[in-house]
Amino acid sequence: MHDASDDEEAESAENAAEAGELCGQLSKWTNYLLGWQGRWVAVRGGTLTYCRSADESEFGCRGAICLAKALITPHEFDECRFDISVNDSVWYFRAEDPQHRQMWVEALEHHKLQTESGYGSESSLRRHGSMLSLTSGASGFSTTSTSSFKKGLGLREKLAEMETFRDILCRQVDTLQKYFDVCADAVSKDELSRDRGLDEDDDGFPTPRPCEDHFFSSNTKDKLLQLFMPKDISWIDFKGEAITFKATTAGILATLSHCIDLMAKREESWQKRLEREQEKRKKVEEAYKNALEELKKKSYIGGPDYEEGPNSLMNEEEFFDAVEAALDRHEKMEEQQLERMRGVSLCPDLVPDTLSIRVHRFSQQVEESIKNHMQYSLQDVGGDANWQLLVEEGDMKVYRRELEENGIVLDPLKATHAVRGVTGREICHYFWKVDHRTEWESTVEMVRLVETLSENEVIVYQTHKTVWPASQRDILYVSSWKKVRATSENDPDTWVVCNFSVDHADVPVTNRYVRAKINVALICQTLVSPPDGNQNIQRDNLLCRITYVANVNPGGWAPASVLRAVAKREYPKFLKRFTQYVKERTANKPILF
């Protein structure tokens, strides 16, 4: 929703861009292990830099890229993402929302245009003053030029000198033209006066006209020119002007020759550069072909374009191979962790038999969820339930119903298992207790208690490890456990743990994770076989029947075949791993029913 704060932020960003500076918080793709991370991004002087936080920017940046040659590309499908690439280097960024992305893209384009306009544009070219000095007079003519062959400067200086030469010639031509015009007017006036003088001779006889070259003496010419010459026309030193004209034309020819030399050297330099670039291009094309061949042989480790989604560049087979490889790595790490934990004696912090009941805002949802699971989850898998057997290993069976909604796989799963040596209370305790979850759940990265609703009901937030190319997931859910007493003496009591997703103001959805939705129930019943004689009940006399039901919405698109293959592989492992963990933790300890 667009509000005043967005307008103020956009206006401040625009003002910062006009001032030559832009900064703010964005998410940056780091690698396939860490995914999107928050970074403080700043643009100054045409350079984009980033660091972990605004406080860290005082000590330097973690990376920088020049915007002058950068290509800024909004993503075609992700409305919050844009990419910045320079040659083969690509940075991936995500804004909070499409409005902020548009603001950043426009601001970066503005900075890029400002950077480009500072180099080689017409607005940056200024008419350079010529270093040529011309002195005209009796002493002659002298020229001084400090032009050099400096790259990008020699030709401009020579062109400026030629422009100065042109101005000098134009002034000379104007001066001579004015002088000649005045002389022509003076001669016309002199001839008119002379004709009048002959007509008015006192003797009545015409006076013979002498030769024009000797008709006027030098003094007479000077007097006539002074008489008819306008006051704004000064005397001209023809000798000096002739020397200046010769020197100017000689300077033009010399400058033209210098320009030709510069262009020849520039052409030779560009020709050599072109040859080098052609050689580089051949090498790059060969390296590109070799890289493509190597890439086909290896698993993908690319950027966010290879992550899960309907527009992923990976096909389903490649996607599955990458997910399976990541799960194998997690499994090895988990086995190492369990080996380190074996032999460590941990006394379970079990809750008392009687759990206090406290009404809270999710009480009704908890009761309805437990009631529904007790009614439907314990039903037989036959008949119209349409459960399909997925895996069968000894006492454990895993069933699935195929269900898709808007292209997202929502397959409900149901597993039944029987474990000897433990009680339903002990199983549910370790499944519910937040402190123990990271010890047996291999896919969990972090678990945090958000709020305690009652003694047996909490709100939990947890993130799961990255299984690249799948996006990293997080979940936020209410977890409740309860003892449901049997309705008859022949039936055992039932322990239930119910987890279902909720929303919480303290844990909003972020761009870093894909928020998954869950509705999970673990239902346990303890069966006791009579001991021999007067002996006490031992763990060998215990059998715990487990029913595990999971309805999971992954929150985003992924290949259906991949999700179903992962479920088939991971759920049996999860049940085996978890029940074995409980058996190891409760061995040689008092039995708690």
The model's pLDDT over 56-83, given as tens digits with 9 standing for 90+, comes to 877 778 888 888 888 999 988 888 999 9
Which residue would you say has higher pLDDT here, 130 or 333? 333
Cα-based distances in Å from 261 to 146, 147, 289: 16, 13, 42
Question: In terms of residues, how long is the chain?
Answer: 593
pLDDT of residue 126: 33
Q: Is the peptide bond before 554 cis (omega within 30 degrees of 0)?
A: no
The helix or strand, by DSSP H or E, that contains position 367, with its residue range, turns out to be helix 363-372
Residues 522, 491 contacting (CB under 8 angstroms): no
In sequence order, the β-bridge partners of residue 398 are 391, 415
Q: What is the pLDDT of residues 421-459, one digit of tens each?
A: 999 999 999 999 988 888 888 888 899 999 999 989 999
In sequence order, the β-bridge partners of residue 397 are 392, 416
Among 337, 344, 405, 380, residue whose Cα is nearest residue 556: 405
Does 148 have pLDDT greater than 50?
Answer: no
Place of tokens 């009796």: 138
Tokens at 41, concatenated: 């991004």
Q: What is the pLDDT of residues 157-175, one digit of tens each?
A: 777 777 777 777 777 777 7
3-class SS at 429?
Answer: helix
What value does the CA radius of gyration of the chain take, rounded to a whole number of Å?
Answer: 46
Does 303 have pLDDT greater than 80?
Answer: no
Does 191 have pLDDT greater than 60?
Answer: yes
Sign of the C-alpha dihedral computed for residues 552, 558, 561 and 567 taken in this order: negative
pTM of the model: 0.52
pLDDT of residue 378: 83
Does 387 have pLDDT greater than 60?
Answer: yes
3-class SS at 4?
Answer: helix
Q: What are phi and psi of 422, to 5 degrees?
A: -135, 160
Among 270-279, 361-370, 554-563, the least confident range: 554-563
**Distance (Å, whole) CA 550 – CA 398:** 11
Task: Please enumerate in sequence order all residues whose Cβ is within 8 A of that of 206, keeping only pairs 6 or more positions apart, or say none.
Answer: 198
Confidence of residue 292 (pLDDT cuts 50, 70, 90): confident
Q: What is the pLDDT of residues 318-373, one digit of tens each?
A: 676 777 777 777 677 666 666 665 555 444 444 444 455 678 899 999 999 999 99
Average pLDDT score over the chain: 76
Which residue would you say has higher pLDDT here, 547 or 133? 547
Q: Could you list the beta-strand ranges (E) of 157-209.
A: none
Tokens at 267, concatenated: 């052409």
pLDDT of residue 238: 67
The helix or strand, by DSSP H or E, that contains position 340, with its residue range, turns out to be helix 316-341
Cα-based distances in Å from 262 to 54, 121, 130, 159, 482: 50, 21, 18, 11, 91
Q: What is the pLDDT of residues 573-593, one digit of tens each?
A: 889 989 999 999 898 889 988
The crossing angle, in degrees rounded to 10, of helices 560-586 and 316-341 is: 10
Cα-based distances in Å from 439 to 298, 328, 445, 476: 33, 18, 11, 19
**Distance (Å, whole) CA 471 – CA 16:** 34
3-class SS at 254?
Answer: helix
Residues 387/376/433/340 CA torsion (nearest 10 deg):
-20
